[in-house]
């Protein structure tokens, strides 16, 4: 349990502002960390958390404001930033190796010290073996042990449990509590509210680079914390409003997609989603709740420990190729790294996924390509000088339309859309949203993922709400309100019987 907050500041930030290429990442931010305190730092993607951490650790110099530090800071990142080919013990003592009387590294002493240190973290692995041979969770614990062994006064933990199994999470939280008792201050960044409320004393909420709240966490109800993160006011959760919802024209249809019990620990656990032809089902939840992982598990891009995917009642083998053949297509969240090929033309980007269908004896018909490309450029109203223009030269909205065209020309039955309107302007966003509605009316089954709650409420027939990798509720009809969604996101852990629906 969190203890009383000490009164000696170890970090003080006053009026810090940081701008990158004209975009203000932090604006007049105040932040205070007390010695021995566990301080939650929360906010959605792009809120400014990473920038603030980099300012605190000296990676970035603020444009304005003042920072006062009293002690050494160590940071544990979400992605383990150690050296996988070096031994566990070498990673632990990198830069401060024990030496013998000849000035050489004392490997035997280093291994013995490392083994003793790691036993306190529940790790009994061979410390002379390469770090890369350990499980990701064990590597994360090694990173934590290294940070603590460096005698830091402040430890910053950026999503430290995101890759850990439940047993490993318990071990890590126990270590955090031990550090707390020893007077080490901790900045704890996480989207997992159960963890935050279990171990943290105070919380700072960032939204769009601004500190919108700082104070004791136990005095802030979960629903209010979610509201602060999302910038949505919630007056009375019990005072539910309703939204207009027409007759369910999908009720009599059999699901074309049935994903049941999808599990890929620790990212998703027992997620089930069904979509009927012509239906738009939204996946709601905070960043890290398992939305993208669920879509990737459906299309076979994420290995799963359990669960099944059926298309029209037929099991789909767990590969992207098999899922695509079965009629599933996915628009990835990050179009720059998982979508467009910038040096190729608009035409080449569009027909990429359809090439096997357009080929005969290994030869692709250019005339067929041109007909398909022309059709989708007109249908999606892609603004392009010619099909041969490089896709990198298009606006973000038009690049997104090119990707939609790529997957639509495979003639899918099910379309998974991960943040389809992220990073595009208002006009292009409206066009993409209208296109999604049009596709659904034509009978396509759509899974829609968005961080914008209004987009989900306006565009989806049903919502599946995820929290910490599990289904927290399923909403439809007059339950499709912001209040119901926020309540499901912020709800305490419930038993399985509560996961079917939220009332």
Q: Is 356 a residue whose pLDDT tops 80? A: no
More confident residue, 22 or 218: 218
Tell me if 279 sits within 8 A of 440, measured CB to CB. yes
| Mean pLDDT to the nearest integer, 452-458 | 85
Q: What's the average model confidence in pLDDT over 179-199? A: 88
DSSP tally for the chain: helices H, then strands E: 17, 21
For 399-448, the DSSP string reads HHHHHHHHHHTT--SEEEEESTTTT--HHHHHHHHHHHHHHHHTT-EEEE
**All structural domains of the chain with their residue ranges:** 9-230, 257-498
pLDDT exceeds 90 at position 406: no
Check pLDDT > 80 for residue 208.
yes
Beta strands in 208-349 (DSSP E): 210-216, 257-264, 268-275, 280-284, 306-311, 314-315, 328-331
Percent of the chain whose predicted confidence (pLDDT) is above 90: 32
The position carrying tokens 């389809």 is 420
* Domain 9-230 shares a fold with domain 257-498: yes
End-to-end alpha-carbon separation of the chain, Å? 31
- pLDDT per residue over 106-123, tens digit each? 899 999 988 988 887 777
Mean pLDDT of 475-479: 90
CATH of domain 9-230: 3.40.50.300
Dump pLDDT digits (tens) for 64-78: 999 998 888 888 876
CB count in 10 Å sphere of residue 482: 19
Neighbours of 285 (CB within 10 A): 25
pLDDT at 400: 82
Four-residue CA torsion sign, 56, 61, 65, 70 = positive
Q: Which fold has domain 257-498?
A: Rossmann fold (3.40.50)
Mean pLDDT for the stretch of residues 370-387: 84
Highest mean pLDDT (candidates 152-166, 179-193, 350-364): 179-193
pLDDT per residue as tens digits for the range 1-40 = 555 544 689 999 999 999 987 778 899 999 999 999 999 9
260 or 396, higher pLDDT: 260
- The per-residue pLDDT for range 230-248, each reduced to its tens digit, is 776 655 323 333 222 233 4
**CB within 8 A of 281, min separation 6: which ones?**
273, 274, 275, 445, 446, 447, 448, 460, 461, 462, 463, 464
Question: Could you tell me the pLDDT band of residue 415, with boundaries at 50, 70 and 90?
Answer: very high
Q: Does residue 132 register a pLDDT over 60?
A: yes
- Indicate the average pLDDT of the chain: 82
CA angle 136, 43, 77 (to 5 degrees): 25
Mean pLDDT of all residues in 390-397: 81
């Amino acid at each position: 349990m969190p203890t009383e907050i000490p009164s000696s500041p170890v970090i003080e930030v006053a009026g810090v502002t940081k701008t990158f290429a004209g975009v203000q990442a932090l604006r007049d931010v105040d932040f205070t960390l007390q010695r021995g305190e566990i301080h939650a730092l929360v906010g959605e993607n792009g809120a400014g958390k990473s920038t603030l951490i980099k300012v605190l650790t000296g990676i970035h110099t603020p444009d304005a404001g003042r920072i006062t530090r009293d002690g050494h800071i160590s940071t544990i990142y979400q992605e383990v930033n150690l050296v996988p080919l070096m031994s566990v013990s070498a990673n632990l003592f990198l830069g401060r190796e024990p030496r013998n009387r000849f000035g050489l590294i004392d490997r035997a002493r280093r291994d013995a010290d490392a083994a003793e240190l790691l036993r306190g973290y529940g790790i009994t692995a061979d410390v002379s073996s390469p770090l890369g041979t350990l499980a990701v969770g064990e590597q994360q614990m090694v990173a934590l042990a290294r940070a603590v062994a460096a005698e830091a006064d402040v430890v910053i933990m950026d999503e430290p449990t995101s890759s850990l199994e439940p047993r490993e999470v318990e071990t890590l939280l126990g270590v955090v509590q031990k550090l707390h008792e020893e007077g080490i201050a901790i900045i704890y960044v996480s989207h997992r509210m159960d963890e935050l409320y279990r171990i943290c004393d105070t919380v700072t909420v960032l939204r769009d680079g601004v500190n919108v709240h700082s104070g004791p966490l136990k005095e802030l109800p979960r629903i209010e914390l979610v509201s602060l993160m999302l910038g949505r006011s919630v007056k009375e959760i019990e005072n539910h409003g309703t939204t207009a919802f027409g007759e369910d024209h999908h009720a009599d249809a059999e699901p074309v997609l049935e994903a049941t019990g999808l599990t890929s620990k620790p990212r998703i656990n027992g997620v089930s989603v069904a979509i009927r032809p012509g239906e738009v089902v939204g996946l709601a939840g905070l960043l890290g709740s398992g939305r993208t992982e669920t879509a990737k598990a459906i299309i076979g891009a994420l290995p799963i420990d359990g669960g099944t995917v059926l298309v029209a009642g037929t099991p789909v083998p767990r590969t992207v190729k098999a899922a695509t053949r079965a009629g599933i297509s996915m628009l990835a969240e990050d179009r720059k790294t998982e979508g467009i090929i910038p040096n190729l033309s608009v035409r080449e980007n569009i027909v990429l996924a359809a090439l096997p269908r357009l080929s005969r004896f290994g030869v692709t018909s250019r005339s067929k390509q041109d007909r398909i490309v022309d059709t989708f450029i007109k249908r999606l109203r892609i603004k392009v000088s010619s099909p041969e223009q490089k896709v990198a030269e298009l606006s973000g909205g038009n690049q997104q339309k090119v990707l939609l065209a790529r997957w639509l020309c495979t003639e899918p039955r099910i379309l998974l859309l991960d943040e389809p309107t992220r990073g595009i302007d208002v006009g292009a966003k409206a066009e993409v949203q209208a296109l999604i509605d049009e596709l659904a009316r034509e009978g396509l089954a759509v899974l829609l993922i968005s961080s914008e709650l209004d987009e989900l409420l306006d565009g989806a027939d049903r919502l599946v709400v995820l929290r910490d990798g599990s289904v927290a509720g399923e909403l439809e009809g007059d339950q499709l309100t912001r209040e119901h969604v926020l309540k499901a996101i912020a709800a305490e852990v419930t038993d399985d019987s509560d996961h079917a629906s939220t009332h």
